[in-house]
Amino acid sequence: MKMKPKNEEFYLEIEDSVELRRQMLETSKELIGILQQYEDMKNADTEKVDEIEHFCTTLKEISADISRLKSMMPKVRLSDLPLKDNLPKEPRRKPAPVEQPAATEEATAPEPTSPGKLLQSQLNEIEERLKDLQ
């Protein structure tokens, strides 16, 4: 029995080696982009956790402040408070009428209220300016 040498080398011909290299580089580039997105997501998650922890500590501080404020307030029973019916009523004042400014020729067009109408009017103004320039 004849032993084959273990260090035999084989060579294969790659027909379109340039295209193969390009595809491998593009795949590597995509992989690097995916890894960067993964790292960005990990960073966003840690930032989120930090913000939640900060929010929780702030919430605890606010709760403690509210408790302190409640303890400082005087103790009053609801039965001691006056009812709304017993309170003196103040006459309501009518608002003064607002005078409308005199309409000028330039301001005869009503102001559009919806965003679509506003954009349409701005587009019309731009088209008029373009016609004046020509």
- pLDDT for 103-113, tens place per residue? 554 555 555 56
Whether residue 118 is predicted with pLDDT greater than 80 in this model: the reply is no
Distance CA 38, CA 45 (A): 11
Per cent of the chain over pLDDT 70 is: 75
Supply the pLDDT for residue 56: 97
Supply the pLDDT for residue 15: 87
* Rounded alpha-carbon distances, angstroms, from residue 112 to 79, 84, 105, 118: 54, 44, 17, 5
Supply the pLDDT for residue 5: 60
Average pLDDT, the chain: 80
pLDDT range class, residue 75, cuts 50, 70, 90: confident
Distance CA 109, CA 112 (A): 9
Lookup result for tokens 């035999």: 8
